[in-house]
Every structure is written in C-alpha cells, then in structure tokens.
Amino acid sequence: MARPSEYDEELAERKAIYKLYAQAIPGSFAIEKLDQAPCSMACPAHLNVQGYVAMVKMGKYREAIEIIMKDLPFPGVLGRVCPHRCEKSCRRLETDEAISIRELKRVAADHVDLSEIPVPDIAPRNENVAIIGSGPAGLTAAYFLALDGYKVIVYEAMPETGGMMRYGIPEHRLPRTAVLDAEIENLKRYGVEIHTNTAIGKDITIEELREHGAKAVFMSIGAWKSLKLRIPGEEDAQAGISDVISFLREVHLGKIEQVDGKVVVIGGGHSALDGARVALRLGASEVHIIYRRSRTEMLAEPEEIEEAEKEGVNIHFLVAPLKISNENGKVTGIECIRTRLSEVDTTGRRKPIPIENSNFFIEAEHIIPAIGQEPDFGAFGESHGLEVSKWNLLKVNPETLQTNVPDIFAGGDVVTGPATVIEAVEAGKRAARYIAEYLQGKELPTEWQEEPPMGTNWTAPPEDEPIKERMKIQTLAKEKRLSGFEEVNLCVDEDTAKAEAARCLDCGGCCECFQCVTACKAEAVTLETHASQAETLSVNVGSVILAPGFQPFDPSRFDNYNYTNHPNVLTSVEFERLLSATGPTMGHLTRVSDKKEPKKVAWFQCVGSRDMNRCDNAYCSSVCCMYAVKEAVIAKSHSENDLDCAIFYMDMRTPGKDFEKYRNDAEDKHGVRFIRSRVHTINPVPDTDDLEVGYVTDSGEKKSEVFEMIVLSVGMEISPEITELAGRLGIEVTDGRFCKTEDFNPVATQKQGVFVCGAFQGPKDIPDSVVEASAAACSAGISLASARGTLVREKTFPDENDVTDEEPRIGVFVCNCGVNIGGIADVPAIAKYAKQLPDVAYVEENLFTCSQDTQDKMVEVIREHNLNRVVVAACTPRTHEPLFQETLRNGKLNSYLFEMANIRNQCTWCHSEDKEKATEKSKDLVRMAVARASLLEPIPDLSAEVNNSALVIGGGAAGMTAALSLAEQGFPVTIVEKSPELGGTARDVMKTWRGKDVQAFLSDLIGKIENHSDIEVMLSAEVVDATGFVGNFESTVVSEKESKTIKHGAVIIATGGQATVPDEYLFGKNPRVTRWHELEHHPEKLKDAESVVFIQCVGSRDENRPYCSKICCTTSVLQAISIKEQNPDTNVFILYRDIRTFGEREMLYKEARQKGVIFIRYALDRKPTVVEAGDKLEVGVFDPILQRDLLIEADIVNLASAIEPAPNEKLAALYKLSVNAENFFMEAHAKLRPVEFASDGIFLCGLAHYPKPLEESIAQAQAAASRAVTILSKTSIEISPLVSQVDQEKCIGCGLCAEVCSFSAIILEDFEGKGYRAKNIPASCKGCGLCAASCPQQAIDMLHFRDEQIAASVCAAA
Amino acid sequence: MENFEPKIVAFLCNWCAYAGADLAGVSRLQYPSNMRTVRVMCSGRVDPLFIIKAFKQGCDGVLVSG
C-alpha cells in the first residue's frame, strides 16, 4: 500500500507500514490506519474490500481470497450475484466511475482453488449446533461456527444444498459445478456436516435435534412460498401459470426442459429477469416482462436488465396485470393496464396508479408471477412455538437473531423476506457470533447495537488524478447464449483486472491485508500488534518541557510563486530532501518535471517571513538565510555542471557563529550569487519547464532572468495545533504565536513548572535549540533536585570467569536477520565455513541473533560449550555491540571477549545484486573477526570517583547563572572572577530588547550568589594552573588575598567578551562620537541633539573580524526608538550593511521605521565618513537607492563596534581547549554539542563562545550547568577502558605522544631513576590511538585495539 | 587484467567512516564487494606499519578513512 512519504516531503512514496526514515529512533515500524474505507462500510458483511482489491492489483489472488474468507465462505458466488452496494459508495465516483469491485472478487475467486487454502488449526469445542436450511445464511453460520470449533450439522430439505443459490439463481448467472458446488464442498473441510433430503418437521423434529445433542439451532429455511397476484383468472387456469420460484426449481430439477409459445413474467426483481431469461433459453417464442413501475424503480441492476433486453426479453414498464384469460383451463393471455407513478408517498416510494382506458392484452401460453415470496412453515405445523410477524416472517432480536425460544436463532429470508445473498451471509455471520456467545454462557444484548458512525478520515485523492474508465466486462456472444446455460458474464483477463484494481484510491490507508504479519519472521508484527490502538496514559510528573517544534510555511497560500502549479518550484524543505543521500533521488540534484540536472537555481528569501501583507508572519524566521546559503553551496557540490545559484534576499541575516564566514565563502569561493531584491513575478517560460523571474534592483532597474528551478526559502511558523495546545495548558503566546518567555528566564513559560525549548520559544536554528533543550532540562532539574535518582534501577551481573590462561574457544553466531542477510548471502555456507576456522568451538545460525530468546540461549550455549570468546556475524557493532556484550556478561564472560562481523550493513545490503560475492565477503569478514577474537583479552571496567563541585570561570551574567543553577541543585560552586566585582559586561546594558531592566536583574542575581551557602566567589582572581580530568580536576586560583588549589568535578568557562574600541570615525578624538551604551549612561549628550547617526558593523564583518557581532543591530534600533520616543523631532539615522533584527526583534525594526528612523545601507567598500564640521559632525554616506552621496549633519555619531572575546589564550592552554581564528572558544560540535568542549567535564557559555544577547547567554549558562550536572550528580563515572597502555621499559620519554594527544590523556612524568616517561590518564583518554601510531618505540598499545589484534584482522583479510 | 578483483583493506574510523559505511548499507547504496573493513577507534590509530603489513600480505589497495 503506497502512501506519500512525509519525510521526503511527498516527493517519494512509502508504504502504509513504514519507518519514518532509515535512522529513525525508535527503529521500529508504524502502520498508518485511517478510517475504514466507505466500500467496506457499505457492504452488509463489512468485507475488507480495499484489502482484496489491493491483492488483486498485485496478482495475489490467493491472498485476496483469504481476506474475503475472513468474512464469508462464498467468494465466487458473491463475485457474480452480489448487488454490490460497495460500488455505490466508492469515492472514485467523485472523479469518474466506481471500481468494479464485484468483478475483481470474481477474478480472484476464478484464479484460486479453494481446496488449496489450508484450514487453520481449530480448537474443537464440545457443543453441537444444528442448522436448518443450507442456503447462504445457514452455510455461512455453519462456516463461522465450525471455524470457532463447534460441531455443525446442516439439515437440508431439498435433494441438493445451496438453497436459493441453487434453486433460485439460474445457471447462466451462477455456474453450478465450478463455483457453487466447489464452494459448498469446501465447507466440509472445516468439519461442516450436511444432510440433504432431511426436512425438519417431517423427517426429524427440533425436539429430536435437541435430543441428539444440538445445544443451539439456527433456522435459515428461506422464503419459498410465492405470493399470489390476487387478480381474476389466477385460480381458474389449470395449466400455464407457475410462480417463478417453482418454475426455476422445476427447471433445475430437470422437470421442465422446454417452454413452448409466449411467456409473460410479472415483476421487477432479479427473479423476474431470471425467469424471463430461463424461459428464453428453454425455447419460448416470445418473453415479456410486465412491471408496474418504471425502469429506475426496478430492483435488478441496469446491466442485467440490459443483458436481458439484448437477449430479446420484452420489458413493459408502467404496466399492471388485470386479468388472466384461459380457454379450457389453458392460459391464453393476460389483460393489462398502463399506469403512471404518483408523487413519492410516506413510504418513500412512488405508487403506480392505473390510467383509465389504457387496457391492452398480451397473448401468452405461460404466465410466471414473480412478485415475491414468504416463508413456508407448512412442515412445522402449528406447534413450533416460534413467534411470527404479521408478514408471516419469524420474529427475532434484530441484534442477536435469537427467537423467542432461547436456543433457536433465525436469519436470512425467513426473517427478512426475500433478500440478497450478501444479506443472508451477514445474517449467518451474525448468528454464528451470537450462537457462540450464547453457548459460552455470555449475556446477549437485548437491543440493536448501533454501529459507531462512519469516520471520513480517508486518504485525499491525488489532485491530479486522471480520469480512468471503469473496466468493461465481456459477455458471451448472444448467439451462444440461448442454446444453453453457459455463463453470460466472462472473467476479465488479469491485466485488465490489475489495472482496474489500481484505480482504487486506497481510502483507508493500511488495507489490513496482513501481508506484513506473514512477512515478519520476528513475529514483531502480529495480528495483535497490528490492531494496537493509540492509548491515553496518565503520567505523574513534576515538570513539563514543551518542545513541539514548528511547521514550515506553506507557500501554496500565495499564487504568485506558482508553487502549486509548477513542478520546478519547490520549498527549501523539499529541496533539502533532493540533496539528501537518503532522499528520493539519492542526493542527485534533478528537476521534478523532467528529471534533468538543472543548470540554474534561484532561492527566494523571506517566503512567509517578514510579511504582514500576505501572511501573518511579521517576524524573521532567523534560519532561512543560512540554510539557503548552505543549500546553494551543497547543490553546487552535488552538481556535475557548473551550477549557477542565485539567492534573492532583502537582508542577508547570518549572525550565528561562523555563519558570516560561510556566507562569504559561498560568494567568494563557490560563486553563489547574492541579489538584493524582492522578486515581483515568476512566470513559466512557454514550451519549457523553466521559469522567468522578474525583479527590480536597488537602483530601480528592472531585470529578468530565467531559472530552471526555484527554491522558496519558507519560514517557520507555529501550527494551529500547537497554539491550541498552548491554550489548553494555559500558556501565553506572543503576537507571532511563539511561547511567551521572560528575558531573564528564557526557557520558563508563564506557567510555573512548564518549560519550553526549540522553535516554539522563538524561531531558531539547531545549536540554539539544543542549548535551550539543556537549559530547559536544567530548569526542570532545579525543581526536581530532591527526587534525583529515586526512580533508578541498577542492573546486576554474575561474577566473571577468569579465562586468561584458557585456550580460545570461540562461538560463532551467524544471523539471517530475517531475509536481510539470509535472503542474499548463503548463511548455511557461512556457518559451515566458520566451523573449520581455528579456535572455533561452536557455530549456530539464527533467524534473529538479537532476539531475546537467542540472548537467553546464548548464555546457555556459552556455559554448555565452555566458550570464552563470542563472534556474532550480523549487523553493525555501532548499534548492537552493547546488547551482545551484556549477554556475555550474563554468560559470565568479560564484555570485551566479543567481536562482530558486519555482514549486513556493510555486506548484504550493499551487494544485494551479487549473492555469491556477498557470501564470499561474509566469509572473509567472519574469518577476520575470528582471527581477532582469538587474541581478545578481558578488560576490567574503569571508573573514577567524582568530585561533585564545580568551578565557574567568569562572574558575569552567564557565569553567575550557571553557578546559581548548579548550587540550587545542591552542587557546591566556586566562581573565579578576574575583576574586583561581579556582573561582567551586563553592567553596561540598561534594557533587554523587550525593555526589561537588566540592572535590577543583575543586582538580584548578585545578591543570590553572595548569599548562597554553596557558592564561593573569588574576585580579582585567576586560574594559574590546572590538572586532572573529568570528575577530578585540580585548579590553582590566585587572587589578591590568597592562592589556593580547588578540587572540582567540572569546569564551566564563562569568561565573556567586550566591545572593541574603534580606531575610526573619530572615536576617541571627538566627544560627539560615542559607542554602544554610552548614550544611555549619558543622556545629557542627547539633550538638544537634532540629529543622531548610528553606524553599524564598526569592526565587525570585515577582514580582521569576519563575523557578525549579532546584537548590534537590535541595540541600535532599540536606542533609535528610545530617542524618537523622547523627542520625535530628532533626526535619527542608522547606517547599516544588513539589518539583522532576527526573530521577533523584526518588530522593533518595523517600529523604528514607523517612528521615522531613517535607515541607509552602505557597502563595505564604500564605508561612511565622519568629519568635524564646525561644532558638529558631518557624516557622508552613499545611498544606493538614491544612487548619490548624502551628507548628514550630526550632533552625535554612535558606533556599534565589534564584540570580541576576553583574552582566552592562557585558559585555553591550561585546560587544553581550542579556540577559533577569532579567539572564541570552540565547542565540541557546532550543532549538537554547543556547550561542551571536546574534553569531558568542561563546558562553555556566554560571550566567550560568541556574541549573543543576554537571554541567549542565560540559556547557554543553564545549558552548561545542565550538562555539568550529568557528571556532578554521579558518585563515580564509568570510563571507557579502551585506552592507551604505556610500556615504560620501551618508552624513551620523547614526548611525541603527549604532543599529539588532544585530550591531555598522556603526559610525561619524571620517574625516579628512569627520567621522563610517558604516563596515560585513562579518564581523559578517548581511545583514538594517535599516541600508539606516533610512538617511534612502539611503547604504546591500545587496549582492545592492540597492534597484534589489528594485524590479525589485516592478515585474515588478505 | 579483465577479471582482476582487487583486495582492498579499509581502515575505518568508528565514529565517522565506519558509521558512513553502515549508513550506505541502510540506504542500500550498492558498491563493489572488494573492500574488507578493519574498524579502528580513530583513523589516527592507523600505524603506517599496518598499511605496509596489508601490502605485504598481498592486498592490492588500502583505504584509510576517517
């Protein structure tokens, strides 16, 4: 069942059972089930139509029949005679015509021999059930009761089984031997016993059935007594009148073989048509049908009426019989009258009203009334005791079909009057269910149980679904028909049937064919798990963290981008999938329309961001500029041609760490074109798949350019579902629908105990999201500190056996991984090969080596066979090594006596087209693993005690926040601050961008720090020496007062940064030139000022500092607004390069413009000039829009100078930390480990990492504290024992190892009498082995990756 | 040389190249089956002597990836 893949942005398909993407965690599959398809709901027996149609589509006929037989035992019969209500509700009708469902069922039935379908194991039950009547209701009940284990005996009054299926439906519609007989015969395989020629009441009584052991009886005796016409002459004729049921029965029994003369059939149902067509086949010279109503009211289906007319049946509509004439008792004809129809009456039908004087006469030798039947209780006599309605039908409970006699149930025509086979089948199935419940002593419902209303959550039909005609059914040539009873409708060929089945819209998602259950050898997908439903759980928690994310803006709301109607206009998220190796094109950049590689691609920025006109998103989405640059660079690298990439933008906003350099490289090294313009039109170029882009340049010049692909850089927005969730939780949101947070507590919502992180907090990229995630964990952790560790359960293992002196005895387990390995490589051959390898004592094959039962068995095998090494040839150690290592521990072996041969991920999956080579490679990999395994040695676990206090270096806002976050969780902290007071650069800042008072916050924070018993503050102090490793650092701190050595488990670096002192624009030379917050501290300078000019990027984004200082735009805009608020007449100018008011700061930019602040852009190669002009200043700048130089008289020029880090070199050397080219500290991973250093136990926050606004510093400080807690909260930490080992006898003390080690994990130490020798520090060692590879004396070896172990692998490989 | 099937020993870093080779499998990327992987915890572990050893043993190529 194919469904559009959400992960691939619907550019590719997935199955209804699917994993979201290959690396998804958890790595299990989900099944997408929607509401049941309307066809199934319309079917009286609720057949799984979508399921068997899907099977026919794949040519899996047997599977189709197995699906059908879950609901009824007569696929071939119903494939022919069902009135197919399902087709009337088919959603295909909205597009063209319904699927020909009934015919597809017939196709499946005609291709399957039922006797080949295995009977399931049935657990027999003791009770017997008697079924009276072998029509569709009786036999269906028999089938389901037999499946349920009951002993079923069917009693049939007629000489043959099948009831009306045999005696009422003529053979040209339902072949006897091939279909009906076969399907009834098949029931015997399920244990159904049938006695024909046994009439109840005559041959055996119900009481006798009970005496013979029947604990329940099902009455399904049908309706066999024809209703009378009640017109004159009906009773007078002795010959020539026969009701249709008797007529068809006599024909079937061979008592009527020929019909001479003319025939008139009266009625409009299936029987009337059947009678007419049979009469024709038996030689009637003319056959008429008269029917009181019109063609549309006729119960028989239109196709059937058409076929009858084709054969020569003369149908008279709107004609009613008046009188039958006879001559000497022999029919001569019938007098009729024409009718008209009344309006719809209260019963919903149109009544026929005779038209006066329209009488006419039809000559006929035979009259066949076909106007309905009722049950015939004749044989039962008066004493059956069952309640009968006024229509002479049995009265039953409509839900359970139980009669007034508790052990007698009834269903089919005897209850409903003449109806269809499928309705009888439904009754049989229903009766079987309730008879079983009755026999099991369950309480039966007394009333009709309403079914839940039909859900309409179905798959959306594809918008571009083409019209596909419904298949045509071939019929037998007319000449061939009348000579006998050959089946009229022919079976369509397989291709036609498959094409017809493929028209299905798969309304219900998963079609419940359960092929996945059959396919899953691990028995993970079972009928039970397949049926599992969403559950509602109640969880008792102390904090809640909201991380609900965002949705990409949907540009189909805009018509001007041609997104919905042009295949080559994609969103950036879709484009991302095209670039991905796991995406729909495996990373090959091709166009959607023609699969050709494009030569020119354009990106349009700010689609759905910074836009109040066409969408509600006034904010900047913060991430789009950077991802567009990245996509352009990657697209170029994926392209074999010289791909031309152009980015159309308003402001290029790349304020993140190292982003500006990336943007510059994109332009300078990769040749990405940056075009500052908002595109106004995109028009498809006729006769091509290209698009023409119209835009206006800065200087007002109109331009146009043709591109082969357009990427819309869509913004982030909060989905209505998340807004609704926020409402439910009582959480306030901003104008941009993001969660409202406070600047000084950036991850706390307005509701206590509920925290937020990620894009819901505000639009942001991955590193900031990861930072906030840790910050939220920290905030949640503070309130939960007392409960820490209370829900932890520890694993215990048996003692290890000492195997050091034993000869290797290796056990090899070769995994089939279902068919992942076994379906490609020859696993038995690999196992056989492994058996003869040296030291191998035991080999086995597993279907799934990782399954729990195999783990249990492995423990047994290790013990039984005295194994002391284990090799598993299966998947990758990166995912499964820990699992098997644990099994070894349970088997009393050290975890490191284990090795894996990766014969799946790196073999069968990659060589699936060459099974032989995959087998050969697998053998080699097993040989290499065995060779290595024989040299493996037990390695004891390593752990170190943890000192649970922390050292925070830097007493600014970040350092203090980190310290307080730790102390509030009970961990002692020492703050080392180089200056004589706490506060750092935040002391200069008056307000946050939201207008919050920074100084009040700062004094509150300092107060808390100074009064906290777990925090020691050392002022005018610095770290002068540091040793140790994670959990056990020793740092020497010297202050004015003292020098002391502090032991601590973790370090947080928060050394901050500051604004640079500019050496341009007359700064320091003229008092009217100020920088940053000076104006806020000296408001008197602004008094009487008529004109204030802000200059941005002073010392940022240039050659010396190729980075953006991130906070300057917002700060200047904020100050400009404040000046305008105080005096609207002051002229305020901001000279900028790009305005980078990211996120919701964009609103400030808008406000500034509304207040009349004038923004003038300048280019780096045309910087503004500032000169003294009399008492004032004169600022010169080139305005790119006016295309001319401007001179601005200014009272004040305020400079937004670059932010630079504090001098970090000394600390970097002490703790072996890396810094980038601009001296900012380097985190372990820019995206995923943004507050950790590569060395364990050392963390980073604040301006030392990169310029950032206060709220980001606070979040980062909380994040650093959170990460530190993961260490400090332990009493000891496990250290990977795969570390270096120094042979001090061989070591010559050259120190090369210490030099190359990035982690201070190997040092030189003076050993008495030996001189300097290398010494490893296991707790710091990452096991990389650089030292071992560098050692000229081969004095260093790596545990578990020893020279000889690697050499053994290499030798075995060759 | 037509049927020449080189033996290639690949030293793959556990954290990147080996993970990449796993992902190639997950993505069902097909490539020639001549490579035999030796997993190391860092490509820095690969002593030049290992490479010499591989060639001495008769390998036709060595790939160090990390």
In a domain, A1319, yes or no: yes
Alpha-carbon Rg of chain B, whole angstroms?
13
The pTM of the full predicted model, rounded to 2 decimals, is 0.79
Q: How many residues does chain B have?
A: 66
A257 and A189 within one domain: no
Structure-token pair, residue A1208 = 């970090």
Q: Measured at the alpha carbon of residue A1260, what is the angle toward residues A1255 and A1263, in degrees to the nearest 5?
A: 130
- Residues of B contacting chain A (CB within 8 angstroms): 7, 9, 14, 18-19, 21-31, 33, 36-42, 44-50, 53-54, 57-59
Predicted confidence at residue A534, as pLDDT, reads 86
Residue A878 lies in a domain: yes
The answer to whether A899 touches A1352, Cβ cutoff 8 Å, is no
Instruction: Please state, in angstroms and rounded to a whole number, the distance separating the CA atoms of residues A109 and A174.
Output: 13
CB neighbourhood size of A31 (10 A): 18
User: For residue A1333, which residues of chain B lie inside 8 Å, CB to CB?
Assistant: 44-48
Half-sphere exposure of A275 (CA within 13 A, CB side): 31
Contact: A1354, B39; criterion CB under 8 Å: no
- Determine the residue of chain A that is closest to B57 in CA distance: A1358
CA distance B36 to chain A (A): 6
User: Which one of B7, B34, B36, B55 makes the best mutation probe of the A interface by having the most chain A beta carbons within 10 Å?
Assistant: B36
From the list A907, A1347, A1354, which residue is nearest B38 (CB)?
A1354
Whole-number pLDDT of residue A234? 86
Q: Do A1354 and B9 touch (CB under 8 A)?
A: yes
Rounded Cα gap, residues A1012 and A1017, in angstroms? 10
What residues of chain A lie within 8 A of the CB of B50, using their CB?
1350-1351, 1354
Contact B50 A1354 (CB under 8 A): yes
- The pLDDT of residue A201: 84
Q: What is the pLDDT of residue A583?
A: 86
Query: Are A359 and A485 part of one and the same domain?
Result: no
Assess contact for A1195 and A1091: CB atoms under 8 A. yes
pLDDT(A472) > 70: yes
CA A350 to chain centre: 52
Residues A28 and A89 in one domain: yes
Percent of chain A with pLDDT over 90: 81
Contacts with B57 from chain A: Cβ below 8 Å? 1354-1355, 1357-1358
pLDDT at A408 over 70: yes
Identify which of A1307, A1315, A1260 has the alpha carbon closest to the alpha carbon of residue A1284. A1307
**Weakest mean pLDDT among A81-95, A461-475, A1189-1203:** A461-475
Percent of chain A residues past pLDDT 70, beyond the cut: 100
Of the two residues A300 and A1217, the one the predictor is more confident about is A1217
| CB atoms closer than 10 angstroms to residue A1299 | 12
List, for residues A585-633, the tens digit of each pLDDT value.
888 999 999 999 999 999 999 999 999 888 889 999 999 999 999 999 9
pLDDT tens for A7-50 read 998 888 999 999 887 777 777 889 999 999 999 999 999 999 99
| Mean predicted lDDT score pLDDT of chain B | 93
What ipTM was reported for this prediction? Answer: 0.98
Query: What's residue A522's pLDDT?
Result: 83
Residue B11 Cα, gap to closest chain A Cα (Å): 9
pLDDT band at A1003 (very low <50, low <70, confident <90, very high): very high
Rounded CA-CA distance A924/A922 in Å is: 5
Question: Between chains, do A906 and B22 touch, taking CB under 8 Å as contact?
Answer: yes
CA dist., res. A932 & res. A1355, Å (int)? 10
pLDDT tier at A571, thresholds 50, 70, 90: very high
Q: Give the gap in angstroms from C-alpha B32 to the nearest C-alpha of chain A.
A: 7
In a domain, A124, yes or no: no
Burial of A912 (0-12, 13-18, 19+ CB in 10 A): middle
pLDDT tier for residue A1128 given thresholds of 50, 70 and 90:
very high
A909 touches chain B (CB under 8 A): yes
Predicted confidence band of residue A1040 (pLDDT cuts 50, 70, 90) = confident
Tell me the pLDDT band of A383, cut-offs 50, 70 and 90. low
Average pLDDT of the residues in A554-561: 87
Q: Which one of A21, A910, A1280, A1343 would you mutate to disrupt binding with B, by most B Cβ within 10 Å of its Cβ?
A: A910
The parent domain of residue A1307 ranges over 1279-1350
Local structure of residue A91 (DSSP, 8 states): G
Whole-Å CA distances, A377 to A161, A374, A383, A537, A733: 19, 9, 10, 56, 74
Q: What CA–CA distance (Å, rounded) separates B62 from A1181? A: 60
Distance CA A489, CA A466 (A): 28
Q: Looking at the predicted structure, is the pLDDT value of residue A377 above 90? A: no
Inter-chain touch B26–A1326, beta carbons under 8 Å: no
Cβ neighbourhood burial of A85 (10 Å; 0-12, 13-18, 19+): middle
The beta-carbon neighbor of B7 closest among A1347, A1351, A1358 is A1358
Q: What is the DSSP letter of A1087?
A: T
Would you say residue A646 lies in a domain? Answer: yes
The secondary element (H helix, E strand) that includes residue A316 is strand A314-316
Tokens 């590569």 belong to A1238
Q: By the 8 A CB rule, do A516 and A472 touch?
A: no
**In a shared domain, residues A248 and A362:** yes
How open is the CA angle A585-A591-A597, to the nearest 5 degrees?
85
A570's enclosing H/E stretch is: strand A569-571
Residue A785 located in a structural domain: no
Residue B1: pLDDT over 80: no
* Three-state SS at A226: strand
CATH of the domain at A1341: 3.30.70.20
A382 pLDDT band (50/70/90 cuts)? low
Q: What local confidence, expressed as pLDDT, does residue A1105 receive? A: 95
A1329–B22 CB contact, under 8 Å: no
pLDDT in tens, A714-767: 999 999 999 999 999 999 999 999 999 999 999 999 999 999 999 999 999 999
The answer to which of A343-352, A385-394, A870-879, A1033-1042 has the lowest mean pLDDT is A343-352
Our CA-based measurement puts residue B44 at a distance from the nearest CA of chain A, in whole angstroms, of: 5
pLDDT in tens, A794-851: 889 999 999 989 999 999 999 999 889 999 999 999 999 999 999 999 999 998 899 8
**Looking at the domain assignment, is residue A541 inside a domain?**
no
Residues of A in contact with B33 (CB under 8 A): 907, 910-911, 914, 917-918, 920-921
b/e sequence A941-964, b meaning 16+ C-beta within 10 Å: ebbbebbbbbbbbbbbbbbbbbbb
Q: How do residues A222-248 score in pLDDT, each as one tens digit?
A: 999 998 888 998 888 778 899 999 999
Closest CA of chain B from A1332, distance in Å: 7
Q: Tell me which chain A residues have a C-beta less than 8 angstroms from the C-beta of B41.
A: 1282, 1326-1329, 1342, 1345
CA distance B25 to chain A (A): 4
**Helix, strand, or coil (residue A401):** coil
How close A821 comes to chain B (CA, Å)? Answer: 12
CB contact under 8 A, B38 and A1345: no
CA distance A253 to A1171: 119
Task: Give the one of B26, B49, B57 whose C-beta lies nearest to A23's C-beta.
Answer: B26
Given the DSSP bridges, would you call strands A319-327 and A709-714 parallel, antiparallel or unpaired?
unpaired
> B29 and A905: CB-CB below 8 Å?
no
Residue in B19, B28, B39 closest to A909 by CB:
B28
Where b means 16+ CB within 10 Å and e means fewer, A212-238 reads eebbbbbbbbbbbbbbebebebeeebe
Total domains in chain A come to 8
The DSSP result for A1200-1254, as a single string, is EEPEEEPP-HHHHHHHT--B-TTSPBPPSBTTTBTTB-SSTTEEE-GGGTS---H
pLDDT of residue A919: 97
Per-residue model confidence (pLDDT) at position A329: 86
Three-state SS for A898?
strand
Interface test with A, best of B8, B13, B26 (most A CBs within 10 A): B26
Residues A239, A254 share a domain: yes
Indicate if A45 and A188 belong to the same structural domain: no
- pLDDT value at A962 more than 90: yes
Do residues A1281 and A1322 lie in contact, with contact meaning Cβ atoms separated by under 8 Å?
Answer: yes
Q: Tell me, what's the pLDDT at A182?
A: 95
- Taking each helix axis from N to C terminus, what angle separates A1347-1357 and B48-56, rounded to the nearest 10 degrees? 30
The domain that contains A1017 carries what CATH number? Answer: 3.50.50.60
* CA pair distance A114, A180, nearest whole angstrom: 12
E strand intervals along A910-1008: 942-945, 950-953, 973-976
What CA–CA distances, in Å, run from A160 to A77, A164, A195?
Answer: 16, 11, 9
Q: Which residue has the higher pLDDT, A27 or A660?
A: A660
Q: CB of A862 within 8 A of CB of A798?
A: no
Does A1080 fall in a domain? yes
The tens digit of pLDDT for each residue in A622-644 reads: 999 999 999 999 999 888 888 99
Q: Give contacts of B59 with chain A, Cβ < 8 Å.
A: 1354, 1357-1358
Give per-residue pLDDT as tens, A275-314.
999 999 999 999 999 999 999 888 888 888 998 999 999 9
Which residues in chain A have Cβ-Cβ distances shorter than 8 Å to B46?
1333
Is the same domain home to A699 and A558?
A: yes
Residue A93 and residue A238 in one domain: no
Asked if A295 and A410 sit in the same domain, the reply is no
For residue A916, give how far its alpha carbon lies from the nearest alpha carbon of chain B (Å): 10
Best of B3, B27, B55 to disrupt the A interface (most A CBs within 10 Å) is B27
Domain parsing of chain B, residue ranges: 8-65
A323 and A345 assigned to the same domain: yes
Q: What is the rounded average pLDDT for all residues in chain A?
A: 93
